[in-house]
Amino acid sequence: MYLSWFSDILSHWGVGPTRNDKEAPVSERNYSARKRVLVTGCAGFIGSHLCRRLLSSGAEVLGVDNFFTGDKENIRDLLGNSLFELMRHDVTFPLYVEVDQIYNLACPASPIHYQYDPVQTTKTSVHGAINMLGLAKRVKATILQASTSEVYGDPTVHPQPEEYWGNVNPLGTRACYDEGKRCAETLFFDYNRQHSVRIKVARIFNTYGPNMHPNDGRVVSNFVVQALRDQNLTIYGDGTQTRSFCYVDDLVEGIMRLMATEESVTGPVNLGNPEEFTIRQLAEQVIKLTGSKSKIQEHPLPADDPRQRQPDIRRARELLDWEPTVPLVEGLQKTIAYFEDRMQGGDFSD
């Protein structure tokens, strides 16, 4: 009797088993059945969509972010979800948590942001990968790396298959990102060979959609925001360089399918939309869809800007039975609606 009174006092103060825990048989507790998933870079553009999808699939999500380019607004609606936990943390420092899966997305992805503090960018990719791989090794989690089409640099093979080793300038201003991501891939494959860590490497091609930051600096968000403000669209160079744009829902579906593959599938796997456009075509499409009065204005082309890019997605089709479903016009319409909504709500000032 005395013991039960004592444990009631403890549980009242949140110590020891709660009344519900005491009453629920072990088989009904969810901690062993529910997948615990760590998402680094959770407040960023892709991370915020991924967290939402994981939660709706029934997983428990631990989101980690240092908020360098992430925005709390992107995950505000998740904060009240008891299966979501947010942790401010920089992946260049060790992290000790217990999880079953890790999606390693932490890294600024837009050239203006990754070039702001290039040393920190390389540290994020390299030290971040070491820490997350060390964590995966200790807890025997499967870990997916958000790698990038930038590992192909300014490609001389077109479209780019996974076998292509790339054409990267190791000394240029993009190298902090490109070489950081290449080194992270090396670490992933060495942890796999040396320590049997279960790895998945996704090479993500240009992805766009809602939750991009208006000052992100990448081409789709720049053009949409400029068009909605009737400002000139800033084309770098003559606009004949090409990119292939993937809508974020398609991308998230692809990385979740990759995570679900059997252990022997490590990647790398290209994930992107093979529909290729010139940057000028993109600008014209955005002006048309927004009905904007904006004109196109040419600016200097940044150094080492890749001339052309298109994913060869045969491997993703075969291994994941995946291909993008959202055409550019439809994805742009959704992205434009998102930015319009937030600008009308007064969220973004000029």
Site of interaction with ligand UDP (CB under 6 A): 94-96, 110-111, 130-131, 134-135, 137-138, 206, 218-219, 222, 234-236, 241, 243, 279, 302, 305
Answer yes or no whether residue 62 interacts with ligand NAD by CB under 6 A.
no
Query: Helix count (H) and strand count (E) of the chain?
Result: 11, 13
> In whole angstroms, what is the distance from residue 315 CA to residue 318 CA?
5
Which C-beta is closer to ligand UDP: that of 265 or that of 277? 277
CB of 111 to ligand UDP, least distance (A): 5
The answer to whether 315 and 270 are in contact (CB under 8 A) is yes
Binding residues among 73-102 for ligand NAD as defined by CB under 6 A? 90-92
Q: Which residues contact 247 (CB under 8 A, 6 or more apart)?
A: 207, 208, 209, 273, 324, 326, 330, 331, 334
Is 164 designated active site? no
Answer yes or no whether residue 311 interacts with ligand NAD by CB under 6 A.
no
Answer yes or no whether residue 43 interacts with ligand NAD by CB under 6 A.
yes
The encoded tokens of residue 217 equal 């600096």
The answer to whether 118 and 68 are in contact (CB under 8 A) is no
* Residue 90 CB neighbour total at 10 angstroms: 19
Candidates 131, 207, 241, 294: give the one binding ligand NAD (CB under 6 A).
207
CA dihedral in degrees (247, 251, 254, 258; nearest 10)? 170
Which C-beta is closer to ligand NAD: that of 115 or that of 232? 115
The answer to whether 246 and 206 are in contact (CB under 8 A) is yes
Catalytic residue among 103, 114, 152, 177: 177
Look up tokens 């600024």; give the residue.
108
Burial class (CB in 10 A: 0-12, 13-18, 19+), 196: exposed
Tell me, residue by residue from 98 to 127, as one string, x for binding to ligand NAD by CB under 6 A and - for no binding: -------xxxxx--------------x---
> In whole angstroms, what is the distance from residue 185 CA to residue 133 CA?
11
- Using CA atoms, how far residue 14 sits from 18, 19, 87, 342, in Å, is 7, 10, 21, 40
CB of 167 to ligand NAD, least distance (A): 17
Stretch that binds ligand NAD, among 4-12, 39-47, 77-85, 310-318 (CB under 6 A): 39-47
Binds 44: which of ligand NAD, ligand UDP, none (CB < 5-8 Å by kind): ligand NAD
Candidates 70, 155, 214, 217: give the one binding ligand NAD (CB under 6 A).
70
Which C-beta is closer to ligand NAD: that of 105 or that of 224? 105
Which C-beta is closer to ligand UDP: that of 145 or that of 206? 206
CB of 296 to ligand NAD, least distance (A): 22
Candidates 38, 59, 66, 132: give the one binding ligand NAD (CB under 6 A).
66
Task: Give percent helix, percent strand, percent coil of the chain, each to the nearest 5.
Answer: 40, 15, 40
CB of 25 to ligand UDP, least distance (A): 31
The encoded tokens of residue 280 equal 């000028």
Which C-beta is closer to ligand UDP: that of 74 or that of 242? 242
* Residue 56 CB neighbour total at 10 angstroms: 8
Binds 134: which of ligand NAD, ligand UDP, none (CB < 5-8 Å by kind): ligand UDP
> Which residues would be at the binding site for ligand NAD (CB under 6 A)?
40-41, 43-47, 65-70, 90-92, 105-109, 124, 128, 146, 148, 204, 206-207
